[in-house]
Structure 1
Amino acid sequence: MADVAVSVKDLCIDYRNLAHISIHQSIMNPNALKKADVVHAVRGISFNVEKGEILGIIGRNGSGKSTLLKAVAGIFQPDSGTIETPGGRVSLMSIGVGFKPEITGRENIMTSGMLLGYTPEYTHNKMQEIIEFSELGDFIDRPVRTYSSGMYSKLTFAITAMLETDILLVDEVLSVGDEHFRKKSFAKMQELILDDNRTVLIVSHDIGTLRKLCTRVMWMHDGLIKEIGETDPVLDRYQEFMQ
């Protein structure tokens, strides 16, 4: 029996929709917060990912894909259920997650390495490799708040790809950036997942990418697993559904 790298059981994640409540309303009427709409982002799902597997996760916006990935990464705390990652060290490749905007790209590389559990010496030794892959040049010593979304995505990918972890979570990063960098990052991703010991979960709307990379696909809809199975049949049915 194959080793399980990620085990999710009866996972539920809720959050309150406070967008329609102003600060003034919340101060004048504290009960308004209690009455805010509860959004059931993930609703009691269970699945396993085996060691060395590449699982694609697809679904329309609001289906719970990114929320699930952030929970596996330990960023979101489940309301109920469990997530176990006996497969090892986990990293999340996602735009807008994990960087401190006021410090430089170089400093964020060191911080990211520390958060992943690497020694400063190990991360420092990987530094030049990360900078070269990111193609940021002199911007690596400027605050991340000055970066464009494309530059942010390049640094995100470079850090996660070069500081190789056992479980890699990818949230739409492969589809961001210029054409040259997309091709380079896709090739690097293919290289990373050739390692049978590395487990990958990829959230993407790019069906072509999922067909090329994934061993299985999970289709999420309204916080539930609508279908999970072999890549091509699941994606075919998803495409039919979305037409």
Structure 2
Amino acid sequence: MSSTPQPRIIVEHVSKWFNKRSSRSMKDAAINVIRRMPVRARQFQALDDISFMIGEGESVAVMGLNGSGKSTTLKLVSGVLEPDEGRVFTRGRVAGLIEVGAGFHPDLTGRENVFLNAAILGMSEKETTARFDEIVAFSEIGEFIDEEVKHYSSGMFMRLAFSVAIHVELDVLLVDEVLAVGDAPFRAKCNAKLKELADRGVTMMVVSHSRSQVRELCTRGIVIRKGKLVFDGPIDEAVRVLEGK
């Protein structure tokens, strides 16, 4: 019997384009409207024929310079975006920490948003109620849990969103730089929790600029440069490729 892990994520010949408008500023755009001149849009290719597979229990870092396409890749895997070419498959329950506070309604309280986010991630009300105290305790929100989240700082957003996601029974966790928000002790606590999830066999896809974080959490690295996959292999070698060594 083969010991090769079954795939949790398959990205197959994926390309993605975005429209990039030619107006250089709001002033230029306003002048074009007054003159009734069309605002031309040209396409920018964010990803160019990207393919990889991530198996059960793998922890993989997606790395690249700003604008390389790594966050776009994560959003395609999460289902936030759809590819223009190619296909993306995931298997199991996927939780994504893609943007701080994404999915939070500003006029709802922290408590209400916990139940809303947990439902989006596939948890029943009964499951969420059973884990609510653990979620709040980990987030360190305390008495602010019944305040409207529009009054939260970005760090409070992140702590609550992260806490909800990690308390879901999940198969795949997607993390995009959100752990850069918050104080050092909480970041250390989050990293320890991610390590615990990895040790439990949760498949993880991590976007981070922190070399130490990806070395600690991941065994494999995917390097994307200008929308193209240039390396896929052991994490230490991936970091060297990223640094141009």
Which residue does 2:165 correspond to in 1? 160
| CA distance in 2: counterparts of 1:230 and 1:218, whole angstroms | 9
Q: 116-125 or 212-221: which moved more?
A: 116-125
Cα distance in 1 between the residues matched to 2:195 and 2:84: 35
Which residue among 111, 121, 129 is the counterpart of 1:124? 129
* TM-score w.r.t. length of structure 1: 0.91
Q: What is the percent sequence identity of the aligned residues?
A: 37
Could you report, residue by residue, the CA deviation over 1:64-118 in whole angstroms, capped at 9, with x for unpaired residues? Answer: 11111111111112112100012x0111113242222221111111111111122
Question: Are 2:113 and 1:112 aligned?
Answer: no
Distance (Å, rounded) in 2 between the aligned partners of 1:217 and 1:206: 13
Distance 1:27 1:164 in 2: 54
**Correspondence 1:21-36 to 2 at 5 A:** 22=26, 24=30, 25=32, 29=36, 31-32=38-39, 35-36=40-41
TM-score if structure 2 supplies the norm length? 0.90
Distance 1:163 1:7 in 2: 22
Specify the alignment match of 1:17 in structure 2: 20
Query: Does residue 223 in structure 1 map to residue 230 in structure 2?
Result: no
Match of 1:81 among 79, 86, 90: 86
Q: Structure 2 counterpart of 1:237, which letter? A: V
Matched, 1:102 2:113: no
Farther off after superposition, 13-22 or 147-156: 13-22
1:92 aligns with 2:103: no
Question: Partner residue of 1:45?
Answer: 50
Q: Give the C-alpha shift of residue 27 in structure 1.
A: 8.5
**Using the alignment, how far apart are the partners of 2:212 and 2:173 within structure 1?**
20
Gaps of 5+ in 1: none
Which deviates further from its counterpart, 202-211 or 14-23?
14-23
Name the CA shift for 1:47/1:134 in 2 (closer, same or farther; >3 Å). same
**1:192 paired to 2:197:** yes
Selected match of 2:72 from 67, 71, 94: 67
The CA RMSD over aligned residues, in Å, is 1.8
Number of residue equivalences: 237
| Residue 211 (structure 1) aligned with residue 215 (structure 2) | yes
The answer for the alignment partner of 1:141 in structure 2 is 146
